[in-house]
Structure 1
Amino acid sequence: MNTDQRGIILNLHEIGALKFGTFQLKSGETSTFYIDLRVIVSYPKLLQQICSLVSVTIQKDIDEKIPTRLCGVPYTALPIATVVSINTNLPMLIRRKEAKLYGTKKLIDGEYSCGDDVIVIEDVISSGASILETVEDLEKSNLNVSRVIVLVDRQQGGLQRLSNKGLNITSIFTITQIVDILKREGKISEEKHKNVLDYIKNHQIKNDDSDMILRTKLAFQQRAELGETSKITQKILKLIIEKKTNLCVAADVESADQLLKIAEQVAPHICILKTHIDAVIGVTESTIKHLQQLAKQYNFLIMEDRKMADIGNTVKLQYKKLVKWADLVTVHSVSGGLMLKGILEEVQQTDLLDKRGVFIIAELSCEGNLISQQYTKDTVKIAEDYKDIVVGLVCQTNGVLPSPSLLQLTPGVNITSSGDSLGQKYQTPSDIILTKGADIAVVGRGIYEATNPAETAKYYKESLWNTYLERVSNQ
């Protein structure tokens, strides 16, 4: 390590960018050290020194014949990338954390052409999750990430994780190099030095992304046998396997008579009947009882698509009316996880833990909806915290689900229409199962508005099931 690098480390310690003690990280873990490079924007000379190091590292390997652009991981790395862009005369791109809901609706701002190389710049790497998000968005925009430059590696496995994914990634400093110099210069004690090294050794991130990969690779039977799969999810998977159907029919009709008629017609071909009982005219206890009888006779589950979204106590009160007959219910996560705690308490009180479950809305299929990427990520975290009751997520994107023990339910399937006048966008069975990664596909108007709903449901059932078989056989 040269004198300039040593000087930068000492200066970072001087301004409080390198802290030692006890700190709670974003992940919830407690760390013996904390690296906060956001403060360097207030120290222009130090910022320029750091950016000069990054610039030199980049310029060593640039092929001037290939158009290259820079992209800083939002937000801390953005000023670093900006200065490096000026130093190297390489154009810069900005990756938005959320796509604009107006204009071009682009995730990546700046001028570029398909196939251009991009060098991603990040300040600190722990797991590498933020870098991967940026890489994925760049690749979705048909850009090629040729290299990743990280200022500080916390040495917890993130660098190796990204290397295993084929990314060319290097760091300028490691935390070991930093604490070695600080100890040598008398800036930290032997005890603090040891605490950091012990922390690194005992807090390695699992370099196993199999959960994200295996969900679409594993057959339903294999997923039912996973130890972390809840009893209600096992029940659904076994039902799906037994009937050889991953079709959910949305019976979004207006009257109780229509509801029962559609239910009787599609019953042999579905795993789930999705209802909006609160929107159906003429529903009585007899209607509910008839639905339950059909569900028992033809082996399907009833899901009330209520999309509850209130505080925990209110949701618990609402759910009291549903727990007696609805096997599944949908909720929004906008009010947080305590809402699910309310549902879980009600299920436990009625001794139905192995018979009742929840799907959380993580994404919507309608155009112009306000769900953001961060909202979806937070929803996933809630689902992981309440796996005893959460069966899966309602979402539109492959890779959202964190575990093969959860199910992806995706609405918006219709082979005869591309959408409606109210923003709904439809897709084919292949789009839903292969591209979007759905386990269970929801079909509504494509079936209940068909001339022969029973035959149409059978067609969708066979098409969706065969597409699922194609998915697991091609892995």
Structure 2
Amino acid sequence: MSSRTYESRARTHPTAIGRTLLSLMAAKKTNLCVSVDITDAATILSLLDAVGPSICVAKTHIDIIPFSNSPSSIAEFTAALSALAEKHNFLIFEDRKFADIGSTVKAQYGGGVYNIAKWAHITNAHSVPGPGIVAGLKEVAEELGVTRALLMLGEMSSKGNLGGGEYLAKTLEMARGDTEFVMGFIAQCAVDTREGEDWIVMTPGVDLGRKGDGLGQQYNTPDRVVREKGCDVIIVGRGIIGAEDKVAKAEEYRKAGWEAYEKRVAEGR
């Protein structure tokens, strides 16, 4: 767990995207990532334009959007998404959860119908395939000449998930093999660090009220996630997109997440 400020970490983080993210978090006073698990492209863009000032990251699942199988419609959407990220100063995180051998993920990340590496600043991957998955994804970014970062899936927020413990420990060792590309983790608590390391931990399953959804999702409050467990970015989906006033709710989560961060720093946790 780190009591260092986002500003100080932004000056020293090993990854370029990590430095960018921490800098904009400090500037906008937000550690909120909105998860736009919505199937209508126009609704996603409208929502992000509205809540953009309150967030540091927009998390997408592009493969749940029923495009008309026209590459141009996908390209138009991702171009509009990138324009909103620039307008409101947030990063795009495509929650792809890559989980295959290096050569396959290269094709999935750099091509296909979605061309994820061309527009998503951040993506994520399981460690099950071994370090080749990290190398494969990094090669795509290098070949395209774009600055990108990877989050490793250490543990998820669903009940009974197989992450954490030994799995997280082995995932951490894999991440240490490339600290200039692996930015951090999807996890439910701060990750052990050695001297000179700085892992950005983004945490799903954050909600101000609900405890679960009946399908295995488990929720934690922003204070518990950030102040008590030492995570950096809260990922909120249904708590915002299901609200009647989405802008007001996003701002409520932004304030809660930021207050938890300020308390953590003040307490030296």
TM-score (norm 1): 0.53
Aligned to 2:70: none
**CA–CA distance in structure 2, aligned partners of residues 285 and 399 of structure 1:** 36
Q: Quick one: structure 1 residues 393 and 372, their matched pair in 2 at CA, closer, same or farther if it must change by over 3 Å?
A: closer
Q: Distance in 2 between matches of 1:216 and 1:405?
A: 9
Structure 2 counterpart of 1:377: 169
Kept after mapping to 2: 8 A contact 1:219/1:472: yes
Return the match for 1:417 from 181, 190, 210.
210
Specify the alignment match of 2:63 in structure 1. 278
Counterpart among 106, 110, 124 of residue 316 in structure 1:
106
Q: Is the 8 A contact 2:30 2:257 kept in 1?
A: yes
> 1:400 Cα shift?
4.0
**Deviations, residues 151-199 of structure 1 (Å, cap 9, x unaligned):** xxxxxxxxxxxxxxxxxxxxxxxxxxxxxxxxxxxxxxxxxxxxxxxxx
Q: Pairwise CA RMSD of aligned residues?
A: 1.4
Answer yes or no: is the 8 Å Cα contact 2:189–2:201 preserved in 1.
no
- Measure the CA separation in 1 of the matches of 2:173 and 2:99: 17
1:405 to 198, 222, 237: 198
Give the alignment partner of residue 345 of structure 1, picking from 123, 133, 139: 139
State the AA in 2 paired with 1:244: K
Asked whether the equivalents of residues 305 and 329 of structure 1 are also in contact (C-alpha less than 8 Å), the reply is yes
- Aligned residue pairs, count: 258
Please state how far the C-alpha of 1:310 moved relative to its aligned partner: 0.2
Determine the structure 1 residue equivalent to 2:80: 290
Distance 1:252 1:216 in 2: 30
C-alpha distance in 2 between matches for 1:450 and 1:391: 31
Q: 2:25 aligns with which of 227, 240, 247?
A: 240
| Deviation string, structure 1 residues 92-151 (Cα, Å, up to 9, x no partner) | xxxxxxxxxxxxxxxxxxxxxxxxxxxxxxxxxxxxxxxxxxxxxxxxxxxxxxxxxxxx
2:182 is matched with 390
C-alpha separation between the residues in 2 aligned to 1:377 and 1:470?
Answer: 28
| Equivalence for 1:427 | 220
Letter in 2 for 1:325: W
| Cα offset, 1:399, TM superposition | 4.0
SS at match of 1:225: helix
Structure of higher CA gyration radius: 1
Q: Residue type matched to 2:247 in 1? A: A
Alignment partners' CA distance in 1, 2:193 and 2:155: 11
Distance 1:474 1:436 in 2: 13
Name structure 1 gaps, 5 residues minimum.
Answer: 1-214
Report the residue type matching 1:359 in the other structure: L
In 2, the alpha carbon distance for the partners of 1:326 and 1:265 equals: 20
In structure 1, what residue type is equivalent to 2:3? Answer: K
- Mapping 1:140-155, distance limit 5 Å: none
CA distance in 2: counterparts of 1:281 and 1:473, whole angstroms: 46
**1:217 pairs with 2:217:** no
Offset of residue 416 of structure 1: 2.3
Taking structure 2 as the reference length, the TM-score comes to 0.92
Q: Structure 2 regions of 5+ residues with no counterpart?
A: 68-72
Q: How far 1:434 moved relative to its partner?
A: 1.3
Provide the residue aligned with 1:202 in structure 2: none
Q: In the alignment, is the contact (CA less than 8 A) between 1:223 and 1:404 conserved in 2?
A: no
Give secondary structure in 2 for the equivalent of 1:391.
Answer: strand
Query: Using the alignment, how far apart are the partners of 1:442 and 1:390 within structure 2?
Result: 19
1 or 2, which has the higher strand percentage? 1
Would the aligned equivalents of 1:398 and 1:435 in 2 still touch at CA under 8 Å? no
Output the CA distance in 2 between the equivalents of 1:311 and 1:254.
28
Aligned residue runs from structure 1 range 35-434, under 5 A: 215-226=1-12, 229-282=14-67, 284-320=74-110, 321-352=115-146, 355-371=147-163, 373-402=165-194, 404-434=197-227
Alpha-carbon distance change, 372 to 459 in structure 1, aligned in 2, over 3 angstroms: closer
> Do the aligned partners of 1:333 and 1:379 also contact (CA within 8 Å) in 2?
yes
Following TM superposition, by how much is the alpha carbon of 1:467 offset from its aligned partner in structure 2, in angstroms? 1.1
Q: CA deviation at 1:258?
A: 2.0
* Per-residue deviation, residues 305-332 of structure 1 (Å, max 9, x unmatched): 0000000000111110211111110111
Secondary structure at the counterpart of residue 20 of structure 2: helix
Q: Cα offset for 1:458?
A: 0.8
Amino acid at match of 1:365: S
1:192 is matched with none
Structure 1 residue 469 displacement after superposition: 0.8
1:370 offset after TM fit, Å?
2.2
Whether the 8 Å contact between 1:360 and 1:383 is mirrored in structure 2 is yes
Letter in 2 for 1:289: A
Sequence identity, in percent? 36
3-state SS of the aligned residue for 2:119?
coil
Cα distance, 1:404 vs structure 2: 4.9
Alpha-carbon distance in structure 2 between the residues aligned to 1:248 and 1:223: 19
Contact 2:17 2:121 in 1 (8 A): no
**Higher normalized contact order (CA 8 Å, seq sep 6+, divided by chain length):** 2
DSSP 3-state at the match of 1:358: strand
